[in-house]
Chain A
Amino acid sequence: MTRVEPVPASTKVEVYADVDIVAARMRGRRLAVSLGFPSATATLVATAISELARNILQYARRGEIIITANERDARSSLTVVARDEGPGIHDIERAMSDGYSTSGRLGLGLPGVRRLVDRFEIESRPGAGTTVTIQVWKR
């Protein structure tokens, strides 16, 4: 019996204008759908990517989003890495709390994303940038 090797699919979107937010989330949805994600889960992925891309634009002005499909027989997942070399987050705990925003808007971005996904990791060093990694399993 031949085993079908998992096909690694990865796509990178440079984020430096607000059209890139739309482009990034569309790519994410497409990849999620190609993995057979239910449409509700694909929408969660697209929404999370939208927030991450906007965060890049708002706080770091530019960065990149890398979306990777991890195809495994039974359990596929999608990983999204949002990376920038912006000012970094000084107080991560505070940035992750609802209603807190240094941009003067809703402040639901990052904590909202955390609620949307199965895995959420954030790494940030003041002056060196921020990397957020999220993972969503096919349900």
Chain B
Amino acid sequence: MQVPILKQGSNLIATIQSALTDADIVQLRDALVQQVGRYRSQGVIIDVTALDVMDSFATGTLQEVAQMVRLRGARTVIVGIQPDVAFAMVHMGLALEGVATSLDLEEGLEYLKQTDRPADAR
């Protein structure tokens, strides 16, 4: 199941719509890192509202996206982590350290608009 990536202004928005296999997540990572260059994007939003599980692989790969995108000169924000998912992540010890998160898409766009943050803001 491929994740659609929407170009909106200077940002890329990837909205996950159903459960993803490990291969799907890796594909999403590579597509985002490529498209940041192709569209000269400043920001990347990954909407995980539809994900009912974020395990160590998903978390680790999203962390890789954020780091790779940062190395490409743009910023990433993960939006829509559900309460139950956050609960499980905390229990597992998956903190998504170094990755920006926002409540939802609206807040994520707001976060990316803040121009006073340098590209490597954590």
Chain B interface size, as a band, is 20 to 34
List, sorted by A's number, 13 A–B pairs whose CB atoms are closer than 8 Å. A18-B22, A25-B53, A40-B87, A43-B52, A43-B53, A43-B88, A44-B91, A50-B57, A51-B92, A54-B57, A98-B93, A105-B57, A112-B92
Tell me if B22 and A112 are in contact (CB < 8 A): no
The CA-CA distance from A26 to B21 in the complex, in Å, is 12
Shortest CB-to-CB span from B38 to chain A, Å, is 27
Whether a CB of chain A sits under 8 angstroms from the CB of B9 is no
Nearest B residue (CB) for A114: B92
Partner of B92, one of A26, A29, A47: A47
Whether a CB of chain B sits under 8 angstroms from the CB of A19 is yes
Shortest CB-to-CB span from B116 to chain A, Å, is 32
Shortest CB-to-CB span from B65 to chain A, Å, is 15
Name the 6 nearest CB pairs between A and B, nearest first: A112-B92, A43-B84, A50-B55, A47-B88, A18-B21, A18-B22
> Which secondary structure dominates chain B's binding surface?
helix
Residues in chain B within 8 A of chain A (CB atoms)? 19-23, 52-57, 59-60, 83-85, 87-88, 91-94
Taking CB atoms, residues of chain A closer than 8 Å to B87 are 40, 43-44
Tell me if A105 and B56 are in contact (CB < 8 A): yes
Taking CB atoms, residues of chain B closer than 8 Å to A21 are 21-22
The CA-CA distance from A13 to B68 in the complex, in Å, is 35
* A116-B91 contact in complex given A18-B22, A22-B19, C-beta closer than 8 Å: yes
The CA-CA distance from A113 to B93 in the complex, in Å, is 10
Chain A interface size, as a band, is 20 to 34
* A40-B84 contact in complex given A18-B21, A108-B92, A108-B93, C-beta closer than 8 Å: yes
Taking CB atoms, residues of chain A closer than 8 Å to B52 are 29, 43, 46
Taking CB atoms, residues of chain A closer than 8 Å to B19 are 22, 26
Taking CB atoms, residues of chain A closer than 8 Å to B22 are 18, 21, 54
Taking CB atoms, residues of chain B closer than 8 Å to A19 are 21
The CA-CA distance from A86 to B54 in the complex, in Å, is 26
Shortest CB-to-CB span from A12 to chain B, Å, is 20
Nearest A residue (CB) for B89: A47
Tell me if A115 and B21 are in contact (CB < 8 A): no
Nearest A residue (CB) for B26: A18
